[in-house]
Amino acid sequence: MFLVVWTDCHKGRKDEPTYEDHWLAFESFIEATENYDKLLKLDEVYSASVCGVIQSTDFEGLENE
């Protein structure tokens, strides 16, 4: 299980930056990196990462494999 996490930056009140966090889960590293690469092409993406799940109450982590 892999997570792609990213932060968008938009103009907020008085043109000050507003940040919003997002995440998506993927079964394979290939799927995760394909979506990560698409995100990097978007102007509003402030930061992005591909993360492996180590331990989680929601997903199968590396610890369970």
pLDDT score recorded for residue 49: 97
pLDDT score recorded for residue 16: 86
If one compares 5 and 61, the residue with the highest pLDDT of the two is: 5
Q: Is a pLDDT exceeding 60 seen at residue 23?
A: yes
CB 65 within 8 A of CB 15: no
What predicted TM-score, i.e. pTM, was given to this entire model? 0.80
Distances (CA, A) of 65 to 1, 15, 29, 59: 11, 47, 15, 12
